[in-house]
Structure 1
Amino acid sequence: MKSRDLFENFNPSKFFTYACLLLFSILLPLRLDGVIQWTYWAVFAPLWLWKFMVILGASVGVSIWASNPQYHAEREACVELKAMLISVGIHLLLFVFEILVCDSIETGEHAWMLVFIPLFFMFPVSVVACVWGFRHDRSVELEILCSVNILQFIFIALRLDKIIHWQWQVVLVPLWVFMSIFCLIILCYIIWSLLHPWTPNVASGQQRASLSEAMMWITIYVPFLTFEVLLVHRVDDLNAFSYKTIFVPLWLSLLTLMIMACWQKGGNYWWFGIRRDFCQLLLNICPFLREYGNISYDFCHEDSEDDEETSDQEVPKLAVIWRKDDKKVIRQSPGAYSLPHPKVDINMPD
């Protein structure tokens, strides 16, 4: 493991998002089990922090873009700015939804169909964002999740308002379908990763990276599916587990996502108007981290392969000269080769 790879591929936005979700998933079961007696406004504090950083980062980025007209002519800068604004719009709708959820839990005065209206508005916005993102080669993970789960949002709102009286196992049928499709995608990726080592012209590093990523996705999917099944059985009164026990698999999935965010290079450079990679900015602010970034760790030391690679690289290629008169081949030492002088000199005319 190389520290340089960590600094080059670290994705701060995803890492911060997953960290906030992990903290929220820790506070929520503690509140549901009665271990803490905080109001839900305090329990939702990690989500408020997440949305606050999004709004602050976008505000700073837009102000810097507006105050520097030279950036307006850069096509890539305009694409990055539009992507940031689309992301902010979706986060604002999520923010309104979370406020309504908190207020409805605390007061019980709002119908759940009214609470879910921001998610219903998010559906067309997410579809347009997905189309735009595919055309401009942008990451649209959040937009895809919001667009494919619209039917699930409607079912949950109807069930909470007691318009339908289905069991939660039936209410979450769209989620089961989505998880089944996601499972097929993961299985295809695992099969491809297992067949990848036998593909010609593939480096060993790429083989290990593919297998590692496949294992990561398994570590995310299986605990998350376990969490969903346990939660559904709990709300249907089919088990009596505490919410802390039910949320443990979710914590494992979020921790895995945080680890993967350390090697998922990406993110928008216009957040906070930094106009550069976050780790480059961090290295400029904290120069002592550069020494750490030049350290590498080898947990699987293979002397034979390393020796063969170094021996192949260190063997110099000897220059070959063919002497036509003597019909001999002369090999010179490296660095001593020089082009032979021509036998006939051609004088250029004045």
Structure 2
Amino acid sequence: MKIQMLDLSEQYKSMKNEIMEKMDEVMSSSRFILGDNVKKLEADVAEYSNVTYGIGVGNGSDAIHISLQAAGIGPGDEVITTAFTFFATGGAIVRAGATPVYIDIDPITFNIDPSKIEEAITDKTKAIIPVHLYGQMADMITIKKIADKYNLVVIEDAAQAIGASQHGKSVGELGTAATYSFFPTKNLGAYGDGGMIVTNSTDLAEKASVIRVHGSKPKYYHHVLGYNSRLDELQAAILNVKFPHLDEWSQARRERANYYTESLNKQLIEIIQTPIEKEGNYHVFHQYTLRVPNRDELQEYLKAEGIATMIYYPMPLHLQPVFKDLGYKEGDLPETEKATKEALSLPMYPELKQEDQDFVIQKIIEFYLK
């Protein structure tokens, strides 16, 4: 591809020496599990999220699963969430023994539609998992009001949204807990898997810290069934080098997103829908995602021109074969199903060159106006 979805090489070059130095420090210390680098990252990310606790875990999927278990969600419980998300959201609910209840999305943001939540609540409902898709927070103000009214746990799936905020409130401030992924492609990415739970709940933080080490406290004494899911010390060291640059990278993403939007809207505003940042939101643009007609044809056209794009997500969770026993059928979530046929994500990363953006923009305009 001439233009990749994501190129991490420039970022690495800019901090290679510092990263290698920190990795050597870890190697020399011989402290590889839950050491000082993990503790520092947990404290820094919690402070950044305006919450009290950070609990480093093996990946973003485990962060959701462990949060649910620590919040007491299990067999017989229902968890309301969105079907327009990565599999980990629904998978974590089932792994915890609970049942996902999928509701439709807001067609503007692709996020869970709060107006659909109350009608989905039953006496088995114990939690809501809003997903802050593509880097923009779901309507947490409304979701929190509903959760408070029905005494529900809220776990924010913020795998794509570290640094996002809503009316001055950070990810994690309005929910019971929030979960991050440090997968390499994320806005704050490690060089392997990693994740974190952030929360103001002392009880949830303590339970999550025990669950991540096989449910052991003290060591070799197990009162709950836990997992081996710890953030690696080497990955934490790398993330500690990258973390101070996060706000700068988020701003660079926003600038590139604005450039895409302004340029595309000049000629295609009646044809395509560029991302809309809801009032009061700070969108960190993990992905820059369009709604377009003839999506698959456009993707093939761009591919032939050497431009990488991605479809997040081609099949919604409620129609996935693994969830067929839940009884959903095509047509149950019309906005979600429509989005799977129209959403297309363009190249997006902080180092993306304007000349490359110009080429992408030119080819999209050519496709629709040729």
TM-score, structure 1 as length reference: 0.23
Task: Say which structure is richer in helix.
Answer: 1
Task: Kindly indicate whether structure 1 or structure 2 has the higher relative contact order, using CA contacts under 8 Å at least 6 residues apart.
Answer: 1
Greater CA radius of gyration, 1 or 2?
1
TM-score, structure 2 as length reference: 0.22
Task: Say which structure is richer in strand.
Answer: 2
